[in-house]
Amino acid sequence: MGRIVLNHVEKRFGKERAYAVKDFHLEIEDGEFIVMVGPSGCGKSTTLRMIAGLEDITSGELYIGDKLVNHLPPKDRDIAMVFQNYALYPNMSVYENIAFGLRLRKMAKHEIDQSVKSTSRVLEIEQFLERKPRQLSGGQRQRVALGRAIVRNPQVFLMDEPLSNLDAKLRVQMRTEIIKLHKELGVTMVYVTHDQVEAMTMGHRIVVMKDGVIQQVDTPKMIYNNPRNMFVAGFIGTPPINFIEGKVLESGGGELEFHTKRYSVKVPPRHADILRKKHKAGRDVVLGIRSENIHVDPAMAEGRPKWQIAGIQKLSELMGADMYLYLDIGGPNLLIARARADHEFIENEKLTLTLDMEKALFFDKDTTDNLA
Ligand code: ATP
C-alpha cells in the first residue's frame, strides 16, 4: 500500500545546472517513518517534492504502492503533504479548512462532518473549529494543517520541516504528537528536516544527505554509533563529535598505535584487527570521539582501554544536567568533553582527560570513510 521505491532517481534543474539529487536509491516500507536530514541545499526537499509529484524527475523511477508514478499528477498519488508554512486558507474557518479537500472530492455532507470531527478529536482541536487561522497560535495552526492532511486518509504522508516555525518547546511537544499520530494511523511517513535531533528522535530510519547524495541510510542508533563517514559523524550528535588527526603505526611490541604530534596510544584489539586489514600502516587517519566518551573524572573509564591526555579548560557551557567543557589539547581545535553539571570550571586549569578508546571511531583522512 504505502511502500515507496525510489529507483536511482535524479533531479537536475536545467541542462547546465549540477544535479540537485544524484542516484537516490531507497525502498521505504509500508508504515515506515523515514526522516531525510541534511544541511541546507542538500536536496532533501527536492526529493520529497518529487515523491509528491510537485517536481519532475530527470531520470530514474518512482513507485508508490506497486504503481510507477513518474508521470502521475499529485492529486492521483494518494499522498498528503504538510509544509512548514501551514498553507491554511485565511478566510475559512478551521472546520472549512479541514473539510476543503473532501468537498473537492464531492464527499457527502454528513460524511465530511464525521471525518472533520473525528480528525479534530485526534488532534484535540475540536474547540477551535469555528475560528479563523489568524485566531490560532502557531502550534494550533500546525495541528489544523495536519488535520487537513489526515482527513483525506492518504496512504503516504509527506512533511517538509513542519515544525520549524514553532518555538523550541512547542516543537518538542509536536514532535511527540506526530510520533503518536504515526502510530495511530499506521501510514508511511516521509519527513524532511535539517534538525538532527528531530531526525534522531522521530525516524525508524534516517537518510542523511549531502550535496544531493545519500551518505547513509540507517536506524538512529546505527547512524550515531556507526556513521559511515566523517560528514555523518559530524552532522549527527550534540555537541559535535571531536576529530583528532594522527597516524596509525605498528609499535615494536606488535601492537597498533595511534600517534598524534604529542601523544601515542594503543589501539584496542577490536579496532586494531580492522585497521590492519583495511589500512596500510603510516597513512593519515582521523580519530573520532564523542564528548560523552571523554571523561574528566578518571574513575569513569575504569577497566576499559583508555587514553589519558592533558587538556586545559578554556570554556564551559552549562546545559542543565551536564556541562560541555572546551579543552585545549594542543591540536588545532578545542576538544569538547561532557562533564557533570557540578564540575568546577576554572579557566586555564589543566585536567587529565580519559578517552574511552573502545568507543572511538577511525576514519580515513583522504576518503573520510569510517574504517570500521
Ligand atoms: P533547505 O533545507 O534549504 O530547504 P534542501 O536540502 O531541501 O535545502 P533543496 O531545496 O532540495 O535543498 O535544493 C537542492 C538544490 O537544488 C539546491 O542547490 C537548490 O539551490 C537547487 N534548487 C532547488 N529548487 C530549484 C529550482 N526550482 N530551480 C533551480 N535550482 C533549484
Quote the ipTM score.
Answer: 0.96
Whether residue 42 has its Cβ less than 6 Å from ligand 1? yes
Region 132-142 average pLDDT? 90
Whether residue 38 has its Cβ less than 6 Å from ligand 1? yes
pLDDT, position 270: 81
- Residue 299: pLDDT over 70: no
Taking only the tens place, the pLDDT of each residue in 272-286 is 888 888 766 677 999
Report residue 25: phi and psi, to 5°.
Answer: -125, 120
Choose the residue to mutate in 9, 44, 47, 81 for probing ligand 1, maximizing ligand atoms within 8 Å of C-beta.
44
- Residue 339: pLDDT over 90: yes
Q: What percent of the chain has pLDDT over 90?
A: 63
Distance 371 CA to ligand 1 centre (A): 32
Distance 46 CA to ligand 1 centre (A): 6
Residues 6+ apart with CB under 8 A from 254: none
pLDDT, position 138: 84
Q: Which domains does the chain have, with CATH numbers?
A: 4-235 (3.40.50.300), 242-364 (2.40.50.140)
Taking only the tens place, the pLDDT of each residue in 226-262 is 999 999 999 999 999 999 999 988 887 888 889 988 8
Whether residue 49 has its Cβ less than 6 Å from ligand 1? no
Choose the residue to mutate in 11, 12, 13, 160 for probing ligand 1, maximizing ligand atoms within 8 Å of C-beta.
13
CA distance 262 to 190: 47
Which atom of ligand 1 has the smallest separation from the CA of 194?
Answer: 2
- The 8-class DSSP code of residue 229 comes to B
Q: Grade residue 301 by pLDDT with cuts at 50, 70 and 90.
A: low
Number of Cβ atoms within 10 Å of the Cβ of 342: 7
Whether residue 43 has its Cβ less than 6 Å from ligand 1? yes
- Kindly report the protein residue whose alpha carbon is nearest to atom 7 of ligand 1: 45
- Yes or no: say if 238 and 196 are a contact pair by the CB < 8 Å rule: yes
- Cell 570554556 belongs to 315
Report residue 67: phi and psi, to 5°.
Answer: -95, 135
Kindly report the pTM of this predicted structure: 0.91
Which atom of ligand 1 has the smallest separation from the CA of 42?
Answer: 6
pLDDT, position 283: 78
Rg (CA), the chain: 25
Whether residue 48 has its Cβ less than 6 Å from ligand 1? no
Which atom of ligand 1 has the smallest separation from the CA of 49?
Answer: 11
Q: What percent of the chain has pLDDT over 70?
A: 97
Distance 21 CA to ligand 1 centre (A): 9
The C-alpha cell that represents 190 in the structure block: 516521509
Whether residue 45 has its Cβ less than 6 Å from ligand 1? yes
Choose the residue to mutate in 12, 22, 42 for probing ligand 1, maximizing ligand atoms within 8 Å of C-beta.
42
Whether residue 37 has its Cβ less than 6 Å from ligand 1? no
- Kindly report the protein residue whose alpha carbon is nearest to atom 11 of ligand 1: 43
Q: Which range, of 105-119, 120-134, 270-284, 333-347, averages the lowest pLDDT?
A: 270-284
Choose the residue to mutate in 22, 45, 192, 215 for probing ligand 1, maximizing ligand atoms within 8 Å of C-beta.
45
Taking only the tens place, the pLDDT of each residue in 44-91 is 999 999 999 999 999 999 999 989 999 999 989 989 888 877 778 999
Whether residue 16 has its Cβ less than 6 Å from ligand 1? no
Q: Which range, of 7-16, 116-125, 337-346, averages the lowest pLDDT?
A: 116-125
- Residue 305: pLDDT over 70: no
Mean confidence (pLDDT) of the chain: 91
Taking only the tens place, the pLDDT of each residue in 154-212 is 889 999 998 887 788 888 888 998 999 899 889 999 999 999 999 999 999 999 999 99
Number of Cβ atoms within 10 Å of the Cβ of 165: 16
Region 292-306 average pLDDT? 74
SS3 labels along 33-62: EEEEECCCCCCHHHHHHHHHCCCCCCEEEE
Q: Which helix (H) or strand (E) holds 183?
A: helix 168-185
